[in-house]
Amino acid sequence: MSELTNLARPYAKAAFDFAVEHKAMDKWQQMIAFAAAVADNEQVNDLLSSATASDKLAEVFVHLCADELDEHGQNLIKVMAENRRLKALPAVLDKFNELKSEYDKEVDVDITSASELSQEQQSSLVASLEKRLARKVKLNCNVDPDLVAGVVIKAGDTVIDGSVRSHLNRLSDALQA
């Protein structure tokens, strides 16, 4: 998967830079999302793996996407087809979304708690995290009763583990040492 990520990076960056320059971020995000969904289709994926000529592949792919791609989106598909990189479209979408979140100063935060968080608790967490991370926060809340109590917060590479389960594990390790 990391190989696809490496292949996708320059295409995502080029599409992102173009979208920023032309103030068409949402439009590009939609076009890439649609093209990635087409590339994820099992039959299309088989076609992408075949020895079909790149110009024919681009023509078929653009036809499948029909009116969802503008002229510039079609050019991206043609360049990717020419370089046999259409399989990387889902990774291009992921990277494009990362670049957009960074640009918008947004971060997705996964919060796992032992019980359902109230709206007030969620609002309080959002305010604290926005202050700490200096970004707009989008919460994704999950419940895991195995935590016993507390929360585990994951924001990108940052992990804050305030669960009772982790405290008990650390105590157990300390006692065994």
pLDDT, tens digit (0-9, with 9 covering 90-100), for 95-140: 888 888 778 777 788 888 888 888 898 888 888 888 888 888 888 8
- Is the domain of 62 the same as that of 87? yes
User: Is residue 81 domain-shared with residue 14, that is, in the same domain?
Assistant: yes
**Predicted pLDDT at 2:** 63
Token pair, residue 73, equals 């989106």
First to last CA, the chain: 39
What per-residue confidence (pLDDT) applies to 59?
Answer: 74
Output the pLDDT for position 46: 65
**DSSP count for the chain of H helices, then E strands:** 8, 4
Q: Which are the contacts of 5, defined by CB distance < 8 A and separation ≥ 6?
A: 91, 94, 95
Among residues 102, 121, 147, the one where a domain terminates is 102
Beta bridge partners of 153: 111, 160
CATH of the domain at 90: 1.10.520.20
Neighbouring C-beta atoms of residue 163, cutoff 10 Å: 21
Residues 89 and 125 grouped into a single domain: no
Name, in order, each residue with C-beta under 8 angstroms of 23's C-beta and a sequence gap of 6 or more.
Answer: none
Q: Give 155's strand partners.
A: 109, 158
Q: What CA–CA distance (Å, rounded) separates 27 from 151?
A: 36
Q: What is the DSSP string of 13-35?
A: HHHHHHHHHTT-HHHHHHHHHHH
Residues 111 and 144 reside in one and the same domain: yes
Task: Give the pLDDT score at 54.
Answer: 65
Question: What percentage of the chain exceeds 90 in pLDDT?
Answer: 0
Residues 129 and 78 in one domain: no
For residue 52, the model assigns a pLDDT of 64
Predicted local confidence at residue 49, as pLDDT: 65
Residues 46, 34 within the same domain = yes
Q: Is 44 found in the same domain as 121?
A: no
Question: Residue 149 is part of which domain span?
Answer: 105-176
Domain shared by 85 and 109, yes or no: no
The residues with which 111 forms a beta bridge, in sequence order, are: 141, 153
Query: pTM value?
Result: 0.63
Domain boundary among 76, 102, 128: 102
Tally the domains of the chain.
Answer: 2
Are residue 95 and residue 10 in the same domain, yes or no? yes
Residues 111 and 125 in one domain: yes
Backbone angles phi, psi at 78, to 5 degrees: -65, -40
Regions of the chain short of the pLDDT cut 70: 1-2, 4, 44-54
Does residue 39 sit in the same domain as residue 81? yes
Rounded distance, CA 112 to CA 145, Å? 9
Same domain, residue pair 50 and 97: yes
